[in-house]
Amino acid sequence: MIDAPPRGEDALRLWDAVQTLGEWGGFAELKRTARSFPDTPMSSKLARTETTVR
């Protein structure tokens, strides 16, 4: 889960990281509590308010 779509070079950085983990033979799982309600125009008043945990 991510709370907002990364753009440009950041999008590729995250992609490469996920792909690396996904293709890593011994990698199994990773878990962290949700950071925020997803940040979109419609949900902009809610995202990163009391829902934020980072």
Partner 1 sequence: MSDRLEFFFDPICPFCWVTSRWVVEVARQRPTEVTWRPLSLAILNEEISYEERKKASPEYPDSHVRGLEMLRVVHAAREAHGAEVVGDLYTALGELVWDADPPEGDDFEAVMHEMARRRDLRPALERVGLPTDWPTPRTTPPATTTCAPRPRRRSTAAGAGSGRRSCRSAHRTAPPSSAP
In the complex, the smallest distance separating the C-beta of residue 20 from partner 1, rounded to whole angstroms, is: 12
Is 21 strand, coil or helix?
A: helix
Residue numbers at the binding site for partner 1 (CB under 8 A): 1-8, 11-12, 14-15, 19, 37-46, 49, 51
Query: Least separation, in Å, of the C-beta of 24 and partner 1?
Result: 16
Q: What is the DSSP letter of 54?
A: -
The separation between CA 5 and the C-alpha centre of its own chain, rounded to angstroms, equals 8
H or E element, residue 3: none
Q: How far is the CB of 19 from partner 1 (least distance, A)?
A: 7
Q: By C-beta, is 4 or 21 nearer to partner 1?
A: 4
